[in-house]
């Protein structure tokens, strides 16, 4: 059965570029981003891992730990990291999982046989501190991921986990949000004292409550 949003993220032990880890222990009380790569020494992946490393302060600010996965060996990862650091002018210090037996890739349904029977597609999972899968994005091997979008979605997930709001299309941190329909209009002022706007009975907006 394939993994779905709201499911518990499978735990695992793995050899990585920084040594052996237990996934749950590594995440602790942090949010997590787990994302797969078709193979080491591939051009798109090299840019993706470099971009992720360059965004370390942004992930740290959001209490997010990042892990990458490839079906190649930890030894191969070490050599590849040198190339990433050199070509992308950064320092990769997050773990790259060596999933040579593809057990983790199978648990997270990262291999799509109609795309490739051996290589993972570009799957990305955002996992909350309670170890639930909150987001799944899958790209084909030919298309690099948009990490600005990944950060934007994490902002939305963390905001909506704390407040009874949703984020509209193209929302960015700091913009108005939508009040959930479970809250009656007459109850909005008490919950959201910054004010609100009723556009339609089912569409009510309010300034972002944690700003």
Catalytic annotation, residues: 45
Using the structure block, give the residue that is written with the tokens 């556009």: 199
Phi, psi of 178 (to 5 degrees): -100, 135
Q: What is the DSSP letter of 118?
A: S
Helix (H, G, I), strand (E, B) or coil at 92: coil
Q: CA-CA distance, 94 to 97, in Å (whole number)?
A: 10
**SS3 annotation, 37-78:** ECCCCCHHHHHHHHHHHHCHHHHHHCCEEEEEEECCCHHHHH
């Amino acid at each position: 059965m394939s993994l779905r949003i709201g499911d518990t993220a499978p735990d695992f032990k793995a050899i990585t570029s920084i040594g052996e880890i237990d996934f749950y222990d590594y995440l602790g009380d942090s949010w997590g981003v787990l994302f797969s790569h078709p193979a080491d020494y591939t051009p798109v992946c090299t840019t993706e891992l470099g971009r992720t490393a360059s965004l370390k302060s942004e992930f740290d600010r959001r209490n997010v730990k990042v892990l990458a996965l490839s079906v190649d060996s930890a030894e191969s990862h070490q050599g590849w990291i040198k190339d990433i650091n050199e070509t992308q002018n950064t320092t990769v210090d997050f773990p790259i999982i060596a999933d040579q037996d593809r057990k983790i890739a199978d648990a997270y349904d990262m291999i799509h046989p109609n795309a490739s029977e051996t290589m993972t597609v570009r799957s990305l999972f955002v996992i909350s501190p309670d170890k639930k899968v909150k987001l799944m994005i899958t790209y084909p091997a030919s298309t690099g991921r948009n990490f600005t979008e990944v950060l934007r979605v994490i902002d939305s997930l963390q905001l909506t986990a704390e407040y009874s709001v949703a984020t509209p299309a193209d929302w960015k941190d700091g913009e108005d949000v939508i009040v959930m329909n479970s809250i009656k209009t007459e109850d909005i002022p008490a919950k959201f004292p910054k004010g609100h706007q009723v556009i339609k009975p089912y569409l009510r907006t309010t300034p972002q409550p944690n700003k």
